[in-house]
Structure 1
């Protein structure tokens, strides 16, 4: 029987050595990997981890710029930037946002409803996006919050600028207003400016503020601050200043604007005053108006409902957004077209018996007994409808609309305001395309007296009148300067019309306000001569049922069914300087409702003179802002 050979010392030693070698190799490999990783972390990735460590104690914050200021032509401020204290919260920095807000409510006015709104807002935002908790606070509140910052993680006091409108309601439709950026605003723009993510950052919502938002906004600055473990600011490391927005000087005159609004008070109406030589818009008044300051921090629901439910539509800028049949103020267009195309002369007369038969339908003149035999000048003076029915049928709608567009009707004015309407100078193709109907001869007759499909805004009527007065293609001008950059005058070229034809139309306009039989004779000026034209546009014909009820006069009807009243004019007659257009919605006759207002506004424009522009020193913005600084 064989016995198993026992291991010798040599074999045992050999096995021990192999295991030691394997173990040592493994340890050496592990040490090598650790060394390599340490090298990576300590040398090659040192900058990255240093940056991460830095970010744990350094915050980078955007510095909102001062919004550009807006002035009138004399240098009077129409906007200010007022310094305000604000409290913000960042959700990811607050351990328990609701608890933090409860603590904050012990230091500042913060009702429970506002806390719930802030929590809801935080839930909609990313965790790192600041949310405004309160604004317009006193310095005592800010001091209390700063002193208690260790127990208010995520809470940061801020000093910012709030827009203010010192002229109140006078320029609400022109200047407009700003308001906090909303989710809807962000969804409607491709603007990637990070300023829009700042809590309650204000952007233009209406008027000039909205139309040239990016010009007024300026560029953001940056500030690096050091914070401790609970987020308390320890020191400012460095800062890159923001770039203020551009200052803007408008052509409007604050005093004339206020005066025009006073004369429109109690009406749903609009008035425009324009310099016929350079296109300056001196007044752009739409009534009723509203206080834009209510919109800056967000308008209340009751205030909004009151504005939105008002039948006089105070939120609408009627000067550029309202379009109306121009009525008899359009007769200068038809008269000039007849002269221009050689279809009538100043001596030819048309008989007006008080009506005209067209395609089996009777078209009435406003004077039931008629005007008798009248020429162009007399037809303009007495506003004879039959004369212009006849003339319109001779000319045709295509050529009437051609002259209308040359004078500015049916062309959108190029001014920096939102929702500017283009009006309508209709054609046969337009009716076929839009109404899917053929053009009728009665449509042409109606267009001859500014009814039917013809539409014009008050600013278009002011442009039309300015072009008739000056004989040039003058364009409206609402901005005089962006900072120190002057905006050019446009449209100084002569119109294509024979100057003699323009003089014939002007003679008729002269008679309207200066001849004893003129429709606006009672609104003539005392110290100078104004030429003009009244207009009345029918909103709804008096029905048979209304006549049976004894309602035969416009003033006896519901307000919204009454006729619109219009007037256009220019002065002085022998050296034209200003044009004016006034519309009073549902005001009745143009001679009774619109012409007296236009007379007063024109007299005020002449009195003020508008001789030039006031200075805009570069430091004026800072002076005005510092004047509003809290102490």
Structure 2
């Protein structure tokens, strides 16, 4: 059937409209393609010609500046310095041994360095540059740059390297960095591309290691044009990386330097805590080492010297070392017994020089005995027999629980290497660890900080801080990150009767300031600066019955490694505590003779924020103290606080 003319006209109009739309769309697409082709062929022709011409565009990662580390007053503890270096890429070099031989004629390269470079290049991908030499002079860099045509694959570069201006002062706290090793890479599930940069430095110990992510930053990129022989012609683009975060520590660098100088010659650890907020003002392990040795590549001789030193300079004794706390633990035993109601503080216990428990004789340090001792006098005179008696009434589980409440036997969360947990043992622990039942003799030993009990100087300082304040002081080391203050954890009440704590503090005051106290020789004569504390001497060897019968051998007559450890915990001023200090001297002998005077000097240095006046010392000591201060001043490197005597 034939369609009406009117219908045909409408149908033609629809078809024409559709054809117009399709045609316009095709024209638009063709226009876009034409414009894109014009852009690629004309405007970006040079760029793509370079990319296609012998791969002459290289894109390299740019290492960001590592974050700086400062002390609480802004003193630089870890910084960055320019480092001129030479790198080499195997795929661009051709005969790498020939290129290295030519390079050795321009800069000092030993056979060992050359062999190491060849080994590393063969172990890495052909396109990964390998550092051949670093810490070069500008003259060396200039020689290599001028002779670039004869050195294919060799690039002169400048980067940043870590340095530690305070040397050994902060080695155990700040730590050090070193080149990324295969071992480092094997421990990381998804390594940051930055770690592939030749000799890229990452934290190995201390804060450098524990705060690596914050300090590292993010990589930048650099696009360069090179000619056919590998010489850099120009830099096409550069996008700088994001620098790492700057850290401010709670440490006082000047106090830290003083403490290290005061511990010179000892194998020891010392910790100073600010009682207002838990800030660690000083954490020193002695002897120390220069962390710059590791950044630059430590020599075999230096490494052997550090490893073979019996005083173990690489060990962070202040947080990593754990020792029997000796009599510094007696406050914990006393608190557990009094709080449990099994002992009245005024009750006396007879000390005859020994206590017999289950057929075994446990001796007091004073062979003739102390006579009748109450809580106050037992701490002042450090009577052992008093604690042998009261510990049997309260039991080890309650003693261990009290120890943990005061910071012993727990790991404090600090960004430092190998922070020790110590040990506050109980019955369950011995069953799990040794498969044996706890014995009453174990409790007796633990009551005076011997046997299984172990604590670090850090833990002992926390214990002293909590005794002084009655609050759960938590140690903190990071004060601010990029200028933003790190929150201070709130110190809750410790949950011990305040009257009991007052008795303990009064006894610790008497330890130092009573003329019959065990630390009277380490007293401070400025009344407002008076120190309270507790001595400790922990055995590292067993004294046999035969030795007791003929007389116990003096520490001075024993080999160094068999002498007792010397300990002292303290807080000051006694009436209004501001700082807590703990000192442990390995194999130092007696706590009263060795550790207490060191703690006293550290306390005074902290309270006076510098050298104390001689009037703070007993008059008979002032001549010796003045000479000691002079020697410390000579020991302390340039840049430290002067140790001038003050009237």
User: What's the TM-score, normalizing by structure 1?
Assistant: 0.87
Tell me the CA shift for residue 609 of structure 1.
Answer: 7.8
- In the alignment, what sits opposite 2:489? 490
Please tell me whether residue 391 in structure 1 is matched to residue 366 in structure 2: no
- In the alignment, what sits opposite 1:208? 207
Distance 1:321 1:78, change over 3 A: same
- In the alignment, what sits opposite 2:234? 235
Tell me the CA shift for residue 190 of structure 1.
Answer: 2.1
What is the correspondence of 1:163-202 to structure 2 with a 5 Å cutoff? 163-202=162-201
- In the alignment, what sits opposite 1:585? 586
CA contact (8 A) 2:256 2:283 kept: yes
Please give the secondary structure, in 2, of the residue aligned with 1:59. Answer: strand
Tell me the CA shift for residue 298 of structure 1.
Answer: 1.8
Q: Per-residue CA shift, 1:509-564, capped at 9, x if unaligned?
A: 01000001100001011212111000000000245777799872121111111100
Please give the secondary structure, in 2, of the residue aligned with 1:162. Answer: strand
- In the alignment, what sits opposite 1:501? 500
Query: In structure 1, what is the Cα distance between the partners aligned to 2:581 and 2:359?
Result: 39
Please give the secondary structure, in 2, of the residue aligned with 1:174. Answer: helix
Bigger Rg, structure 1 or 2: 1
Please give the secondary structure, in 1, of the residue aligned with 2:603. Answer: helix
- In the alignment, what sits opposite 1:464? 463
Tell me the CA shift for residue 359 of structure 1.
Answer: 0.3
Please tell me whether residue 281 in structure 1 is matched to residue 245 in structure 2: no
- In the alignment, what sits opposite 2:539? 538
Tell me the CA shift for residue 151 of structure 1.
Answer: 1.3
Count of aligned positions? 568
- In the alignment, what sits opposite 1:594? 595
Query: In structure 2, what is the Cα distance between the partners aligned to 1:540 and 1:585?
Result: 13
- In the alignment, what sits opposite 2:66? 67
Query: In structure 2, what is the Cα distance between the partners aligned to 1:401 and 1:489?
Result: 27
Please give the secondary structure, in 2, of the residue aligned with 1:61. Answer: strand
CA contact (8 A) 1:322 1:458 kept: yes
Please give the secondary structure, in 1, of the residue aligned with 2:312. Answer: coil
CA contact (8 A) 1:79 1:165 kept: yes
Distance 1:223 1:380, change over 3 A: same
- In the alignment, what sits opposite 1:270? 269
Query: In structure 1, what is the Cα distance between the partners aligned to 2:551 and 2:377?
Result: 34
CA contact (8 A) 1:551 1:557 kept: no
Query: In structure 2, what is the Cα distance between the partners aligned to 1:296 and 1:257?
Result: 22
- In the alignment, what sits opposite 1:569? 570
What is the correspondence of 1:394-473 to structure 2 with a 5 Å cutoff? 394-473=393-472
Query: In structure 2, what is the Cα distance between the partners aligned to 1:511 and 1:552?
Result: 29
CA contact (8 A) 1:271 1:284 kept: yes
What is the correspondence of 1:43-62 to structure 2 with a 5 Å cutoff? 53=52, 56-62=55-61
Query: In structure 1, what is the Cα distance between the partners aligned to 2:296 and 2:368?
Result: 60
Tell me the CA shift for residue 491 of structure 1.
Answer: 3.9
- In the alignment, what sits opposite 2:6? none
Q: Per-residue CA shift, 1:72-94, capped at 9, x if unaligned?
A: 11100011211010000000001
CA contact (8 A) 1:66 1:81 kept: yes
Query: In structure 2, what is the Cα distance between the partners aligned to 1:162 and 1:356?
Result: 62
Query: In structure 2, what is the Cα distance between the partners aligned to 1:123 and 1:458?
Result: 48
Q: Larger deviation: 46-55 or 364-373?
A: 46-55
RCO higher in 1 or 2 (8 Å CA, sep ≥ 6)? 1
Q: Larger deviation: 335-344 or 529-538?
A: 335-344
Please give the secondary structure, in 2, of the residue aligned with 1:370. Answer: coil
CA contact (8 A) 2:185 2:191 kept: no
Please give the secondary structure, in 1, of the residue aligned with 2:580. Answer: strand
Please give the secondary structure, in 2, of the residue aligned with 1:608. Answer: coil
Distance 1:225 1:549, change over 3 A: farther
What is the correspondence of 1:238-317 to structure 2 with a 5 Å cutoff? 238-317=237-316
Query: In structure 2, what is the Cα distance between the partners aligned to 1:70 and 1:463?
Result: 25
Query: In structure 2, what is the Cα distance between the partners aligned to 1:297 and 1:181?
Result: 13
Q: Per-residue CA shift, 1:178-227, capped at 9, x if unaligned?
A: 11111121112224101111111111111111111111111100010011
Query: In structure 1, what is the Cα distance between the partners aligned to 2:605 and 2:368?
Result: 38
CA contact (8 A) 1:354 1:367 kept: yes
CA contact (8 A) 2:364 2:384 kept: yes
Query: In structure 2, what is the Cα distance between the partners aligned to 1:321 and 1:55?
Result: 56
Please tell me whether residue 106 in structure 1 is matched to residue 74 in structure 2: no
Q: Per-residue CA shift, 1:363-418, capped at 9, x if unaligned?
A: 01111111111110000000010101111111100000111000000010111101
Question: Which structure 1 residue ranges, 5 or more long, are not aligned?
Answer: 1-41, 611-631
User: What's the TM-score, normalizing by structure 2?
Assistant: 0.85
CA contact (8 A) 1:472 1:492 kept: yes
Tell me the CA shift for residue 319 of structure 1.
Answer: 0.5
Please give the secondary structure, in 2, of the residue aligned with 1:156. Answer: strand
CA contact (8 A) 1:168 1:292 kept: yes
Query: In structure 2, what is the Cα distance between the partners aligned to 1:546 and 1:491?
Result: 51
Query: In structure 1, what is the Cα distance between the partners aligned to 2:219 and 2:54?
Result: 21
Please give the secondary structure, in 1, of the residue aligned with 2:372. Answer: strand
- In the alignment, what sits opposite 2:553? 552
Please give the secondary structure, in 1, of the residue aligned with 2:173. Answer: coil
CA contact (8 A) 1:180 1:297 kept: no
- In the alignment, what sits opposite 2:510? 511
Query: In structure 1, what is the Cα distance between the partners aligned to 2:591 and 2:443?
Result: 23
Query: In structure 1, what is the Cα distance between the partners aligned to 2:533 and 2:551?
Result: 34
Distance 1:175 1:249, change over 3 A: same
What is the correspondence of 1:35-46 to structure 2 with a 5 Å cutoff? none
CA contact (8 A) 2:50 2:56 kept: no
CA contact (8 A) 2:168 2:290 kept: yes
Q: Per-residue CA shift, 1:253-293, capped at 9, x if unaligned?
A: 11111111111111110111101121010110100100100
Query: In structure 2, what is the Cα distance between the partners aligned to 1:52 and 1:549?
Result: 90
Please give the secondary structure, in 1, of the residue aligned with 2:608. Answer: helix
Query: In structure 2, what is the Cα distance between the partners aligned to 1:551 and 1:331?
Result: 23
Query: In structure 2, what is the Cα distance between the partners aligned to 1:298 and 1:179?
Result: 8
Distance 1:501 1:545, change over 3 A: closer
Query: In structure 2, what is the Cα distance between the partners aligned to 1:548 and 1:195?
Result: 67
Query: In structure 2, what is the Cα distance between the partners aligned to 1:77 and 1:368?
Result: 53
Q: Larger deviation: 88-97 or 345-354?
A: 345-354
Query: In structure 2, what is the Cα distance between the partners aligned to 1:191 and 1:282?
Result: 37
Query: In structure 2, what is the Cα distance between the partners aligned to 1:495 and 1:247?
Result: 34
Query: In structure 2, what is the Cα distance between the partners aligned to 1:258 and 1:345?
Result: 45
